[in-house]
Amino acid sequence: MSVTTLTVGRLFIGGEWTDAADGGRMDVIAPSTGEKIADVARAGVADVDAAVAAARRAFDEGPWPRLSSRERARVLQRAYALMRERAEELAQLESLDVGKPITFARVVDVNNAAELYEYYAALGHRLDGEVREITAAAHAYVRPEPLGVVAAITPFNFPLILSSTKIAPALAAGNTVVHKPASDTPLSALLMAEILRDAGVPEGVFNVVTGPGSTLGDHLVAHPDVDKVAFTGSTEIGAHAAGLAGRSLTPFTAELGGNAANILFADADLDRAIHTVISAFVFNAGQFCMAGPRLLVERPLYGVVLGILKDVVPRVPFGDIADPATVIGPLASRTQLDKVSALVERARAAGARVVTGGHAVERDGGFFYAPTVIADVAPDAEVVVDEVFGPVLTVQPFDTEDEAVALANGTPYGLASGIQTADLARAHRVAARLRAGITWINGWAVLDPSVPFGGVKASGWGREGGPEALQSYQKAHSIVFDLGGAA
């Protein structure tokens, strides 16, 4: 797909496409080939200030926060319709920019992102306040009101979905938005600016600034005119951003790193469980905060499962992202490829056994890494404890339910978890003990706009999806009318 026909390469501020104030540009590289596919504006702090100012004016003086929730919902519904009309364009762009297999970009990324706008358009029809009964001679009611200017900062792995989880509820609630996408994958954010404009989002309500997070992100998070920060990214950067936001007590929600355990009990349907295990760690080449890179296997099945994985994993379709059959594409950047390669090599040097994979794959100059299974790892091994963010699976045995739970909860992260078992009582019992924001039973990555997800511990706080996310973009304004007359 050619990106030259798209409205890309410039900042979107105050309803207008504009160059960076200093004229800066940066290249966008295709992970599947390592070649340049576009260049976009490299914004600076002056551009962030301009975007925040536009969002501030739109919130303080413009119509968007003052429209009825139904009127805003109609705009979001039009955005949903336009996303469906341009679905193939969005999918091709996301596939090229991120290195996603085209089938996944169509079925997962575009479909889920569009449904988020549809879902929050529906919720937006019901942003009603509540009357509260109180003991005093007074009439009290609570109004849900927008917070103001929202800074939405998103990562490279799911640019379209993880921006939509923030932008759709923020707009539905009546806020204005400044979006800072990852510098490696900015293209779908610029196309969404075009779609939202065409859907009828007023000038200044949605703004996009592209450029390095180390300067733009820090300035945006700490900006005195930002009323809420919604962040997805690594735990390290999230902690840094939270510190900046905390200086001005700016509300902050964060979906951070993950390192989910997938617990396979001996009574599970093994064929189904193996399919789930593989899907959980190779999906999006493992670049998924809610991936399942840690497999815990009840000991009677340990050797059997390793044998099956050794045979099956190398046969998962790998490589050409334009082939509808491809399941595993490249990593998003040379930096990510080098990081995953180094982590696996350190595990090998420490005595871990690489069952299959364990090496980069040369293909068309892209950033490919073979799907990898590692056994004989200690619970405190680096490759077990740290987030790999690549197609790498560690496998550990356990003997008891208590041991499985302890191993699952034994990292700093708590974003997702999984249980594979035929025993429903055990499934509910174990799920209640896992410290995670979401737990899948006999499946993985079953997501819907109505179901919230988010982390505990080092995986962050706050929720995306569901009415819980919408509430995080609102404040409760209590109004009490004294009916008793003057004292």
The neighbouring-strand residues paired with 374 are: 354, 394
Greatest CA separation found in the chain? Answer: 83
pLDDT at 383 over 70: yes
> What is residue 126's predicted lDDT score, i.e. its pLDDT?
76
Asked whether residue 350 is assigned to any structural domain, the reply reads: yes
Torsion angle of the four alpha carbons 455, 457, 462, 464, in this order, in degrees rounded to the nearest 10:
-10
pLDDT at 4 over 60: no
- Residue 391 dihedral angles phi and psi, to the nearest 5°: -80, 65
Asked whether residue 396 is assigned to any structural domain, the reply reads: yes
Does 245 share its domain with 319? no
Asked whether residue 138 is assigned to any structural domain, the reply reads: yes
pLDDT at 359 over 80: yes
What is the mean pLDDT of the segment spanning 13-24?
Answer: 96
pLDDT at 85 over 70: yes
Asked whether residue 5 is assigned to any structural domain, the reply reads: no
> Where in the sequence is the domain holding 24, given as residue range(s)?
11-256+455-478
Rounded to whole angstroms, how far apart are CA atoms 112 and 453?
14
> What is residue 127's predicted lDDT score, i.e. its pLDDT?
81
> What is residue 311's predicted lDDT score, i.e. its pLDDT?
97
Does 353 share its domain with 212? no
Asked whether residue 487 is assigned to any structural domain, the reply reads: no
Does 245 share its domain with 270? no
For 151, other C-beta atoms within 10 Å of its C-beta total: 32
pTM of the model: 0.94
Burial class of 87 by CB neighbour count within 10 A (0 to 12, 13 to 18, 19+): middle
State the pLDDT confidence band at 319, using cuts at 50, 70 and 90.
very high
pLDDT at 113 over 90: yes
Asked whether residue 310 is assigned to any structural domain, the reply reads: yes
What is the mean pLDDT of the segment spanning 441-469?
Answer: 95
> What is residue 8's predicted lDDT score, i.e. its pLDDT?
60
Rounded to whole angstroms, how far apart are CA atoms 100 and 471?
32
What is the mean pLDDT of the segment spanning 351-360?
Answer: 96
Does 335 share its domain with 461? no
Asked whether residue 288 is assigned to any structural domain, the reply reads: yes
H or E segment and range at residue 356: strand 353-356
**Chain centroid offset of residue 67 CA:** 29
pLDDT at 7 over 70: no
Which position among 118, 255, 387, 464 bears the catalytic label?
A: 255
pLDDT at 159 over 50: yes
Q: Could you tell me which residues come within 8 angstroms of residue 297 by beta carbon, excluding any fewer than 6 positions away?
A: 264, 305, 395, 396, 397, 398
Does 231 share its domain with 292? no
State the pLDDT confidence band at 485, using cuts at 50, 70 and 90.
low
3-state secondary structure 296-336: EEEHHHHHHHHHHHHHHHHHCCECCCCCCCCCECCCCCHHH
Does 35 share its domain with 144? yes
Higher pLDDT, 193 or 1: 193
Question: Does 387 participate in catalysis according to the annotation?
Answer: no
The neighbouring-strand residues paired with 206 are: 177
Q: Could you tell me which residues come within 8 angstroms of residue 423 by beta carbon, excluding any fewer than 6 positions away?
A: 265, 267
CATH number at residue 345: 3.40.309.10
CATH number at residue 54: 3.40.605.10
What is the mean pLDDT of the segment spanning 251-271?
Answer: 97
pLDDT at 135 over 50: yes
H or E segment and range at residue 140: strand 138-146
Structural domain tally of the chain? 2
Does 468 share its domain with 326? no
Does 466 share its domain with 333? no
Does 322 share its domain with 378? yes
Tens digit of each residue's pLDDT (9 = 90 or more) over 215-260: 999 999 999 999 999 999 999 999 999 999 999 999 999 999 999 9
Residue 209: strand, helix, or coil? coil
pLDDT at 466 over 90: yes
Asked whether residue 485 is assigned to any structural domain, the reply reads: no
- In order of 345, 374, 413, the CA distances from 227 in angstroms are 44, 45, 28
> What is residue 128's predicted lDDT score, i.e. its pLDDT?
81
Residue 271: strand, helix, or coil? helix
Does 377 share its domain with 460? no
Does 21 share its domain with 164? yes
Does 345 share its domain with 377? yes
Average pLDDT score over the chain: 95
**Chain centroid offset of residue 269 CA:** 30
The pLDDT > 90 percentage for the chain reads 94
Residue 46: strand, helix, or coil? helix
Structure tokens that stand for 50 in this block: 């301009």
